[in-house]
Amino acid sequence: MVFRKPPDGGWGWVIVVVSFFTQFLCYGSPLAVGVLYLEWLDAFGEGKGKTAWVGSLANGIGLLASPVCSICVSSFGARPVAIFSGFMVAGGLMMSSFAPNIYFLYVSYGIVVGLGCGLLYTATVTITCQYFDKRRGLALGLISTGSSVGLFIYAALQRELIELYGLDGCLLIVGALSLNILACGSLMRPLESSSSPPPEKTFVDKVPDQYFVYHEKEKTVEENISILEKGYIDEKCVNSVPDCKQDNILNKNTLSSINVNEKDTYKKKVVEQTNFCKQLAKRKWQLYLTYWKETMVLFKNKVFSALFVAILLFDIGGFPPSLLMEDVARSANISEDDYYMPLISIIGIMTTVGKLILGILADFKWVNTLYLYVTTLLMTGVALFAIPFAKSYLTLAMLSGILGFLTGNWSIFPYVTTKTVGIEKLTHAYGILMFFAGLGNSLGPPIVGWFYDWTQEYDTAFYFSGFCVLLGGFLLLLAALPCWNACTNQSSKLPPNTYSYKVASNA
């Protein structure tokens, strides 16, 4: 497939719109799962830690399976994957309405919906990058706000649907709404040139066909010989009976020579195929070793190692508020009459604002993106420490807005990764970091829930969350300080592609 030059417009804006609505429809319910979390606690009577696994799996499984999602989109294309994933998300939500226990929800809502969201995220980002080059940052920024807007709207929508139709009816209606992803996916027309001729198959692509042909010859050569021999003899015997015996002997000699030539050719091709398979296996093994060597080189970069720890600890401590904040308010005995807006909706709308403002700040040359990211981590840790002291809706709403805004640092995380490892290693490094981000998303809410089950209050849980985020922020700050780089340079030379403060300050 030969792709044209990205048009940076045209049908690309349709791709941006449908990608926005795709992320809106698929991530709306999983990000606003805190509303459902309260209903599942009452419906199944399980502990908070065990129940929190449902939402954490739905939000973390897509990141954990990001390599598989990338392979699927590369193999089948964005449009087929988007349509298939739409069925997954809608089906998972509808199946969750019939869940008899919490373990069924782990599969239907946690794994099925979570994996569908991961596939859709990869598909929307891939198709958008194909259509945009110069305006790629703007396009990706626009579609990424779809999930935040979905969190804002779905939090209030699911609460209203639960009051009108109950938990089961809410999940059925939300699942039906998710079927609109199929319409969005059908508009994700691949950017390819229909006029250009298809590229010739490489030697690797041709080998399976050749092997198939000779494999068929091996099975049918004896059968073909017998058929030809019989037909030739019958025809000769009809026309000339006296010459039948002589022609029969001549025909057998001729077919025998053909048979020998076919077998020799087949054996030769089998030997060639065997040698090729050995070379291919050796090459794949070398690529595998090269991948792990490059991974080890990445972890020799102390800033990358600190970034890996920081993103893991940030998601362990920073993600639970978006899932548990509604239960925190209920545990603080805040009356529902005091609710002007769901706390999760406040987190969602402020996340959108944070993504836009932090993304704009990162484009200024005088702003160090790494220090900006560290600042958001440290402020997040302080806000988490303040949650146990919030006893009213107003204070919880303010903290929800602050945490939502700081969570928008996801928009500058690719900038930080690029300045840390370089653009040539961005894909490799970003995949590793996203895997550990998904691990943190999956572990954070259950850990906070287990703390509550153990202590019967959220104070210790959020102290632990704040400590995790602060620890990650301080480690990353320590690794990026110029004085630390100077001390390291006195003992040994920096390895290639190591992050330095001077490079980052000019970014």
Measured distance CA(497)–CA(503) in Å, rounded: 11
Would the pLDDT of 242 be above 60?
Answer: no
Exposed / middle / buried, residue 483 (Cβ in 10 Å: 0-12, 13-18, 19+): exposed
Would the pLDDT of 492 be above 80?
Answer: no
How many domains does the structure of the chain reveal? Answer: 2
pTM above 0.75, yes or no: no
Would the pLDDT of 181 be above 80?
Answer: yes
Residue 77 is assigned to a structural domain of this protein = yes
Measured distance CA(107)–CA(229) in Å, rounded: 61
Which pLDDT value is given to residue 246?
53
Q: Are 475 and 309 in contact (CB under 8 A)?
A: yes
The average confidence (pLDDT) of the chain is 77
Q: Are 151 and 28 in contact (CB under 8 A)?
A: yes
Question: Which of 429, 422, 423, 418 lies closest to 295, judged by CA?
Answer: 429
Would the pLDDT of 218 be above 60?
Answer: no
Q: Are 323 and 52 in contact (CB under 8 A)?
A: yes
DSSP class of residue 339 equals -
Q: Are residues 5 and 143 in the same domain?
A: yes
At residue 253 the predicted structure's pLDDT band, cuts being 50, 70 and 90, is: low
Asked whether the CA dihedral 180, 181, 184, 190 is positive or negative, the reply is negative
Measured distance CA(48)–CA(46) in Å, rounded: 7
Which pLDDT value is given to residue 429?
75
Residue 506 is assigned to a structural domain of this protein = no
Which pLDDT value is given to residue 502?
39
Backbone angles phi, psi at 421, to 5 degrees: -115, -10
Domain extent for 470: 276-483
Q: Are residues 311 and 429 in the same domain?
A: yes
Residue 217 is assigned to a structural domain of this protein = no
Q: Are residues 295 and 408 in the same domain?
A: yes
Tell which of 137, 163, 194 closes a domain.
194
Secondary element (H or E) of residue 332 = none
Would the pLDDT of 17 be above 90?
Answer: yes
Query: Could you tell me which residue, 20 or 7, shows the higher pLDDT?
Result: 20
Would the pLDDT of 401 be above 80?
Answer: yes
Which pLDDT value is given to residue 358?
85
Which pLDDT value is given to residue 268?
63
Residue 116 is assigned to a structural domain of this protein = yes
Average pLDDT of the segment spanning 42-48: 87
Residue 254 is assigned to a structural domain of this protein = no
Q: Are residues 8 and 138 in the same domain?
A: yes
At residue 335 the predicted structure's pLDDT band, cuts being 50, 70 and 90, is: confident
How is residue 235 written in tokens?
């025809």
Secondary element (H or E) of residue 237 = helix 203-239
3-state secondary structure of 259: helix
Would the pLDDT of 204 be above 50?
Answer: no
Q: What angle do CA 472, 477, 479 make, to 5 degrees?
A: 95
Average pLDDT of the segment spanning 402-431: 78
Which pLDDT value is given to residue 86?
94
Measured distance CA(373)–CA(409) in Å, rounded: 7
SS (H, E, C) 147-178: HHHHHHHHHHHHHHHHHHHHHHHHHHHHHHHH
Average pLDDT of the segment spanning 95-109: 93
At residue 248 the predicted structure's pLDDT band, cuts being 50, 70 and 90, is: low
Would the pLDDT of 382 be above 60?
Answer: yes
At residue 272 the predicted structure's pLDDT band, cuts being 50, 70 and 90, is: low
Q: Are residues 22 and 144 in the same domain?
A: yes
Measured distance CA(37)–CA(321) in Å, rounded: 12
Q: Are 309 and 440 in contact (CB under 8 A)?
A: no
Q: What angle do CA 458, 462, 463 make, to 5 degrees?
A: 115
Average pLDDT of the segment spanning 255-278: 61
Q: Are residues 23 and 163 in the same domain?
A: yes
Model confidence over 341-350: pLDDT tens digits?
Answer: 788 888 888 8
Question: Which of 260, 250, 188 lies closest to 222, judged by CA?
Answer: 260
Which pLDDT value is given to residue 503?
36
Q: Are residues 463 and 346 in the same domain?
A: yes
Model confidence over 282-332: pLDDT tens digits?
Answer: 666 666 677 677 777 777 888 888 888 898 899 888 888 877 888 888 887
For the chain, give the percent of residues with pLDDT over 70.
Answer: 72
Model confidence over 447-481: pLDDT tens digits?
Answer: 888 888 888 888 888 899 999 999 999 999 988 87
E strands of 304-461, at which residues? Answer: none
Q: Which of 122-136, 324-338, 417-431 has the lowest mean pLDDT?
A: 417-431
Q: Are residues 186 and 285 in the same domain?
A: no
Tell which of 157, 175, 194 closes a domain.
194
Measured distance CA(120)–CA(181) in Å, rounded: 9
Q: What angle do CA 44, 170, 176 make, to 5 degrees?
A: 130
Q: Which of 135-149, 213-227, 407-421 has the lowest mean pLDDT?
A: 213-227
Query: Could you tell me which residue, 70 or 476, shows the higher pLDDT?
Result: 476
User: DSSP per residue over 448-502, as a string?
Assistant: HHHHHHHHSSSHHHHHHHHHHHHHHHHHHHHHH-HHHHHHHHHHSPPPTT---HH
How is residue 37 written in tokens?
């979390």
Measured distance CA(24)–CA(180) in Å, rounded: 11
Query: Could you tell me which residue, 21 or 125, shows the higher pLDDT?
Result: 21
At residue 337 the predicted structure's pLDDT band, cuts being 50, 70 and 90, is: low
Question: Which of 368, 308, 367, 305 lies closest to 495, judged by CA?
Answer: 305
Residue 108 is assigned to a structural domain of this protein = yes
Q: Which of 19-23, 25-29, 271-275 has the lowest mean pLDDT?
A: 271-275
Residue 238 is assigned to a structural domain of this protein = no
- The alpha-helical segments, DSSP class H, found in 45-197 are 48-64, 66-76, 78-96, 102-105, 114-131, 136-178, 180-186
Query: Could you tell me which residue, 336 or 484, shows the higher pLDDT?
Result: 336
The answer for residues whose C-beta is within 8 angstroms of residue 19's C-beta and 6 or more apart is 124, 125, 127, 128, 143, 146, 184, 188
Q: Which of 15-19, 229-233, 305-309 has the lowest mean pLDDT?
A: 229-233
Measured distance CA(184)–CA(378) in Å, rounded: 39
Q: Are residues 185 and 298 in the same domain?
A: no
Long-range contacts of range 457-464, CB-CB < 8 Å, 24 or more positions apart? 457/331, 458/324, 458/328, 458/331, 458/387, 458/388, 459/388, 461/320, 462/384, 462/385, 462/387, 462/388, 463/385, 463/388, 464/317
Q: Are residues 408 and 305 in the same domain?
A: yes
Q: Are residues 190 and 281 in the same domain?
A: no
How is residue 117 written in tokens?
């969201």
Residue 208 is assigned to a structural domain of this protein = no
Secondary element (H or E) of residue 195 = none
At residue 485 the predicted structure's pLDDT band, cuts being 50, 70 and 90, is: low
Give me the CATH number covering residue 392: 1.20.1250.20
Tell which of 194, 228, 243 closes a domain.
194
How is residue 388 written in tokens?
């146990």
